[in-house]
Structure 1
Amino acid sequence: MNSTPLPRPRGKAHRPTPLRRRVAGAVTGVLALVAACLGAVAGAEPAAAAGLTQVTSFGSNPGNLAMYEYAPAGLPAGAPVVVALHGCTQSASDYFAHSGWQKYADLWGFALVLPQTSASNNSLSCFSWFDPAKDTRGKGEAASVVSMVSHAVTQYGSDSGRVFVTGLSAGGGMTADLLADYPDVFAGGAVDSGLPAQCATSQTAASTCQYGSVNLTPAQLGDKVRASDPGYSGPWPRVAIWQGASDYTVYPVNGTELRDQWTNVWGIGQTASSTQTLPGGTTLSVYDDPSGRPAVQLYQISGMGHGLAVDPGSGTEQCGTTGSYYLDTICSSYYTARFWGLDGSTPPGGGGGTLPAPTAVTVAGTTDSTVSLSWGAVTGAASYRVYRGGTLAGSPTGTSFTDTGLTAGTAYSYTVAAVDSSGAVGAASSAVAATTTGGGGSGSGQCFTDNNYNQVAAGRAHQSGGYTYADGSDQNMGLWNLFTTHTLKETGADYYVIADGTC
């Protein structure tokens, strides 16, 4: 039988083939597509994107996978790790180049691990989300990915409590399996156009998952997760689910079944705690845990077909580039990273305490070098933690704090979390922005020392392609992130030059 998947119109709905004709011709052709086929790219290419490095020895590799990694310059110890799994006929390089994850690794400071499968494992280079010999705990590709995680955590001195996994289509199916197999390894996951965990146990059975409902209750779907690591009782990963409403490769019912599965695992209902409308025709449904923190999020995108949601552009909320199965709608990587707290809106470690987020966080005042904050008291709080751009700035015992030693005329972002008497950190507040006073006028000659991200936020520099450039002079300041710092001197109206060590 023909094992090449039928091409799909890029980014558009496809009229489904009648079921009996699909099944009749599907044992290798459609079912290779079932294995989360992404269609039109002809063969996996070697990973060669700028900054992506292959690791040739990372430990046990029963799944015969290749490991690629990326980390921004100056990555501090204790940073998170994000594992990103490509789809069928794609490669680590392809996913790295299009998905937008590099932008947020640079901006918010975390390492990326990109596993890559090959045609020797699957004729269409699909991760084998339907094969118990490859997608279960301690076996095959799943075990290889966890070996990569262990290697990266040791290499970068990363926080083993902040390891996350995301994947597209076949990679999304494997992501769900990994979350079920290794809830002790992954703090959160994102399944993009993927399938419920352990939805199928054979390639033949996979078509039922891909093209329709498996007709299981939330409890039965949840049991598939619980059976993947018997005896484990929590904490469970926080799961984001992305699904196109016009996806005829992985039908939209998979999104709701993933929702049913993971809300059941969390012991919460299938009625959303809240809903909101986002860009790109996206509806977000949030399912909170008993403490009021989002445990499961379902993003449903009107009119989107099969692929990863991206939104090319230079804005913070924009990311990625379009291509085969990279669809211009909304930047899924941005919203997923924020859900996991990688932007600093959640305390490092993701909180873990039961105290609610402080309310009424207010900027009480600013000077050239200070920002003063205040907030409402949280019952049961022994102290508070104040985060500036995701980095701990102070640990006051009261409900106010003054951050000192700041740069004049610079924008900063703050969140606050309560800490109980045992030291457990609760949920973080919404971020508030503050800008210090001062800053030079036209040709003031004033100097400004800050990280590249804040220099851009303050309007003294701009970013392009992940790098920062001084306004006016266009001098290259290095990566656009929180870890690269320069001094800029204003030598004319909106004209800045690098002045490290000279001001």
Structure 2
Amino acid sequence: MTEHAARMQVRLADMLEATRLTGAGRLDEATALIQRNLRERPAPAPAPEMKRIEPPTIDLVAERVGEGTRPEAPRAGTTAADEPAAAGPWVDGDLLGDGAHPAIIPERLREVLRGLGRGVAPVLNGLNLAPGSLPGMGTGRPTPPPAAGDGQFVARSFSSPAGARDYKLFIPSRPAAGACLVVMLHGCTQSPDDFAAGTNMNVLAETEGFYVAYPAQSARANGQRCWNWFQPGDQGREAGEAAIIAGLTRAILDECPIDPKRVYIAGLSAGGAAAANIAQAYPDLYAAVGVHSGLAAGCARDLSSALMAMQVGAPGQNAPTGFGAPAEGLRVPTIVFHGDEDGTVSPRNADQVLAQAGAGSLHAESRSVHSDGRSYTRTRYADAAGRVVVEDWRVRGLGHAWSGGSAAGSYTDPQGPDASRAMLDFFAAHPLRGVDA
């Protein structure tokens, strides 16, 4: 870990303590702690044998439960998705391999992150952190499933040799002929119900007659329910989380009257990064991908490179093979949404997603839109035949949140252009090539 990353950990640890003090009503102490933190430059975290506190981002900190770790208490309705991964135990907190030892967030701090909500906004404003940039800093309201007519929103489980996950499937009351399937990957601390409510995707699905699947990350795979986008074992074909999601997708195709040429995947934040990984690993399954506030496929291989990518984008040495241009015949149509004020995932990552999709070799046309909500610039990239295969939406003033989403869900910004609608329109123009109906 670099000295800079260590300094960030100490600063964020102090901020979390200030958050706890604020929640307890001890505002003077919280303010004094933050002021001292801003004046001083703390030393890196010492003793490797001590548990350290990782930055409480929405995007990472893998915590797999194995031998030597206190097991999570069973919950009512627990399914195979909550069982420990079959790959074997993790020893001494070595969660990433290759000698890296990320910290395990103590339960006390985890509860602080989940529970305080908007009460800490005055303190966070002093650190220039936008509401929603930390877990637990969403709307502060419960997130019931959205109303979607007579469609069904059913709980399912999927299991395969690669692993198991729960998921929820929205089944429209009147499926369209040749209906499509959209696989939606939530961000950290979110759930299928929360993500469905925030994106309004089920409402659109009922109106237009398509299916939506929401895989649920297990707390046993990641303590903050983040998809492990930065783990090499979860990025590639027929292994880890990528294989689980692909297998889940195929199982739905076998069961439901879905056009196999119209299968798409999208995600927010950690889910957006995972969607990029999965689409690149399975270009024969997913016809297009939507990456919202996410990162390029394979841009990180461990914790330190993940932190670096989130802050400034992937450096050259951490870039995946073929980074900056798609492999011949493997171009996956890609739509990108990113806020220019995203303090959690640098907008430079959106540029790298575009580069990975091959935007640099395409003809670009941009249009800026000024509105009463959030202004934005939409850039469409067309190939030599005039077919738009990449789109980029840069939303001014948007932080780390789903653009145009509903306040019923977390990490949403209702003022922005409707990312769900834009993604569906983009997907509709891109059936999978080379697949028989």
Taking structure 2 as the reference length, the TM-score comes to: 0.65
> Deviation string for 1:441-494 (max 9, x for gaps)?
xxxxxxxxxxxxxxxxxxxxxxxxxxxxxxxxxxxxxxxxxxxxxxxxxxxxxx
Instruction: Give the secondary-structure state (helix, strand or coil) at the position aligned to 2:242.
Output: helix
Correspondent of 1:243 among 327, 338, 363: 338
**Cα gap change, 1:334 to 1:101, in 2 (>3 Å):** same
Correspondent of 1:350 among 413, 419, 431: 431
Q: Is the 8 A contact 1:91 1:116 kept in 2?
A: yes
Instruction: Give the secondary-structure state (helix, strand or coil) at the position aligned to 2:259.
Output: coil
Correspondent of 1:223 among 275, 297, 322: 322
Q: Does 1:39 align with 2:135?
A: yes
Partner of 2:113: none
Matches for 1:446-457 after TM superposition, within 5 Å: none
Superposition deviation, residue 294 in structure 1: 1.1
Superposition deviation, residue 277 in structure 1: 2.2
Instruction: Give the secondary-structure state (helix, strand or coil) at the position aligned to 1:52.
Output: strand
Q: Identify unmatched segments of 5+ residues in structure 2.
A: 1-8, 20-37, 62-132
> Deviation string for 1:34-83 (max 9, x for gaps)?
4298521699x999666321113x45162432121002112145211000
Superposition deviation, residue 105 in structure 1: 0.8
Correspondent of 1:340 among 427, 431, 434: 427
Matches for 1:72-471 after TM superposition, within 5 Å: 72-216=172-316, 223-224=322-323, 233-234=328-329, 236-263=331-358, 268-269=361-362, 272-277=364-369, 279=371, 280-310=374-404, 320-321=406-407, 323-328=409-414, 329-341=416-428, 346=429, 350=431
Superposition deviation, residue 132 in structure 1: 1.2
Instruction: Give the secondary-structure state (helix, strand or coil) at the position aligned to 2:334.
Output: strand
Q: Is the 8 A contact 1:38 1:307 kept in 2?
A: no
Structure 2 Cα separation of the partners of residues 151 and 214 of structure 1: 34
Instruction: Give the secondary-structure state (helix, strand or coil) at the position aligned to 2:164.
Output: coil
Partner of 1:54: 155
**Cα gap change, 1:33 to 1:24, in 2 (>3 Å):** farther
Structure 2 Cα separation of the partners of residues 23 and 175 of structure 1: 34
Q: Is the 8 A contact 2:272 2:291 kept in 1?
A: yes
Superposition deviation, residue 352 in structure 1: 6.0
Partner of 1:491: none
Instruction: Give the secondary-structure state (helix, strand or coil) at the position aligned to 1:128.
Output: coil
Letter of the aligned partner of 2:322 in structure 1?
Answer: D
Q: Is the 8 A contact 1:87 1:168 kept in 2?
A: yes
**Cα gap change, 1:235 to 1:137, in 2 (>3 Å):** closer
Q: Is the 8 A contact 2:234 2:241 kept in 1?
A: yes
Letter of the aligned partner of 1:237 in structure 2?
Answer: V
> Deviation string for 1:105-163 (max 9, x for gaps)?
11222100100012111111100000011222111111111111111111112111110
Q: Is the 8 A contact 2:174 2:206 kept in 1?
A: no
Structure 2 Cα separation of the partners of residues 139 and 116 of structure 1: 17
Superposition deviation, residue 27 in structure 1: 6.7
> Deviation string for 1:267-314 (max 9, x for gaps)?
724x62343426521110111122111111111111111111125xxx
Superposition deviation, residue 32 in structure 1: 5.5
**Cα gap change, 1:46 to 1:118, in 2 (>3 Å):** farther
Structure 1 Cα separation of the partners of residues 53 and 238 of structure 2: 27
**Cα gap change, 1:291 to 1:222, in 2 (>3 Å):** farther
Q: Which has the higher helix share?
A: 2
Superposition deviation, residue 101 in structure 1: 0.7
Structure 2 Cα separation of the partners of residues 22 and 72 of structure 1: 55
Structure 2 Cα separation of the partners of residues 294 and 185 of structure 1: 20
What is the number of residues matched between the two proteins?
321
Superposition deviation, residue 222 in structure 1: 6.6
**Cα gap change, 1:181 to 1:38, in 2 (>3 Å):** farther
**Cα gap change, 1:123 to 1:213, in 2 (>3 Å):** same
**Cα gap change, 1:48 to 1:21, in 2 (>3 Å):** farther
Instruction: Give the secondary-structure state (helix, strand or coil) at the position aligned to 1:236.
Output: coil
Superposition deviation, residue 226 in structure 1: 8.0
Letter of the aligned partner of 1:131 in structure 2?
Answer: Q
**Cα gap change, 1:67 to 1:323, in 2 (>3 Å):** closer
Superposition deviation, residue 23 in structure 1: 8.0
**Cα gap change, 1:278 to 1:194, in 2 (>3 Å):** farther
Superposition deviation, residue 90 in structure 1: 0.5
Instruction: Give the secondary-structure state (helix, strand or coil) at the position aligned to 2:160.
Output: coil
Structure 2 Cα separation of the partners of residues 288 and 38 of structure 1: 37
Structure index of larger Rg = 1
Q: Identify unmatched segments of 5+ residues in structure 1.
A: 8-16, 312-319, 354-423, 425-503
**Cα gap change, 1:334 to 1:137, in 2 (>3 Å):** same
Structure 2 Cα separation of the partners of residues 99 and 243 of structure 1: 15
**Cα gap change, 1:150 to 1:22, in 2 (>3 Å):** farther
Structure 1 Cα separation of the partners of residues 407 and 205 of structure 2: 16
Q: Is the 8 A contact 2:57 2:134 kept in 1?
A: no
Matches for 1:61-72 after TM superposition, within 5 Å: 62-72=162-172
Superposition deviation, residue 213 in structure 1: 2.7
Superposition deviation, residue 339 in structure 1: 1.1
Instruction: Give the secondary-structure state (helix, strand or coil) at the position aligned to 2:294.
Output: coil
Q: Is the 8 A contact 1:83 1:112 kept in 2?
A: yes
Letter of the aligned partner of 1:119 in structure 2?
Answer: A
Q: Which has the higher strand share?
A: 1
